Amino acid sequence: MITKTKYVLVFIIVCFQLLGYVYLFINVKIALLLLGSAFVIFLLLFILLFIDRLKEKKEEDQDDLSNY
């Protein structure tokens, strides 16, 4: 579920950035809105990746057999 969400977020970021660069020549306000939205979604994606990494780290600590 989370991996699918990550791929969708990456796709949205790429689309917003491409559209933002195109709209720089058409309408600057819309371009800045799209690029700002892409940045916010990028931060959300970074937070999701960080949370996923913390879960993996917790699982690795539980499966650690070095105490034996």
User: Rounded mean pLDDT of 48-66?
Assistant: 77
pLDDT at 62: 67
Lowest-confidence segment of 12-16, 19-23, 61-65 by average pLDDT: 61-65
pLDDT at 35: 93
pLDDT > 90? residue 63:
no
Q: Residue 61: is it exposed, middle or buried by C-beta count within 10 angstroms (0-12/13-18/19+)?
A: exposed
pLDDT at 28: 92
* Confidence grade of residue 53 (pLDDT, cut at 50, 70, 90): confident
What separation in angstroms does the CA of 7 have from each of 15, 23, 32, 40, 48?
12, 24, 23, 16, 12
